[in-house]
Amino acid sequence: MATKGPMWVPVMQELLDRIVGGTYPVGSVLPSESQLGAEFDVSRTVLRESVKVLTEKGLVSTWRGRGTIVEPASHWRTFDPDLLAARLRHPGGEDVIRELLILRKGIEPVLAGMTALQADDEDRARLQSRFDDLERWKNDPASYVMADGDFHAEIADISKVAIARDLFDLMAEPFNLARRGTALIPGGLQAAHAQHDRVFTCIMARDAAGASAAMYEHMQSAQDRLDQLHWSNDRLSLPAEPPRTKSRRVKA
């Protein structure tokens, strides 16, 4: 049976999950190549490539005579996509999202102000299309979450700050997880849409100060809503989720 992608990838991801989840705590030694080879039914070459990638991510280091040692979290590559995904799969993943919101509060208001000042007609038309999507899906939380991400990414793109757009692409999974969680809060979706409307209106009016202030308010509100959530069964949820409505969108 053909495998999808290199054989070392699932092995690396499983070892990464065990490190993040505490199965292999900081300072511990990973099982030997023979033990892991027998468990995963893979060759030493596959295991060594897995460990090499984990080393590049800062999770482990290999020492002659000591084996492969789990490094402290302070050594881990914080923005590595595999590591972020693993952290989100375990209790404490909400801390990742809170940290990212703090980062966004420092960046996105500036991007909104820049977009208001420098957007040309083509840029404004693209942003109009993104906001139209928000209007279209404002009563459909699942679809709104995706449109929300596109709206923010468009602002980053129009700002011409390439590093910001790359960061948004990298952070897509945790950002969307936070949006899905806060959309569960009664009134959360409506509040977010009203804030998006203010950001959009200020940008289209070329009001840089207003766009920046509106975006900061939106980020602060998202942080406040996130504080109403907790981590349960590896995902964000309300302490007591509201009753499900009978009308739900069916996934294709």
Distance of alpha carbon 200 from alpha carbon 139, whole angstroms: 19
Transcribe 140-179 into DSSP letters: -HHHHHHHHHHHHHHHHHHTT-HHHHHHHHHTHHHHHHHH
What pLDDT is recorded for position 124?
A: 97
* Main-chain phi, psi angles of 155, to 5 degrees: -60, -45
212 touches 112 (CB < 8 A):
yes
**What is the three-class DSSP state of 235?**
strand
Q: Kindly give the parts of the chain with pLDDT less than 50.
A: 1-3, 234, 237-252
Residue type, 95: D
Is the model's pTM score more than 0.85?
no
Q: Report the candidate in 56, 11, 62, 9 with the shortest Cα–Cα distance to residue 36.
A: 11
Distance of alpha carbon 124 from alpha carbon 103, whole angstroms: 26
What pLDDT is recorded for position 27?
A: 95
Distance of alpha carbon 37 from alpha carbon 43, whole angstroms: 6
Query: Both ends of the chain: CA-CA distance in Å?
Result: 28
70 touches 30 (CB < 8 A):
yes
**What's the CATH code, domain 93-237?**
1.20.120.530
Domain boundaries, the chain: 8-75, 93-237
Residue with tokens 């499983």: 14
What pLDDT is recorded for position 4?
A: 61
What pLDDT is recorded for position 79?
A: 81
Distance of alpha carbon 87 from alpha carbon 95, whole angstroms: 9
Question: Regarding the domain delimited by 8-75, which CATH topology (the fold level of the hierarchy) does it fall under?
Answer: Arc Repressor Mutant, subunit A (1.10.10)
What pLDDT is recorded for position 232?
A: 58
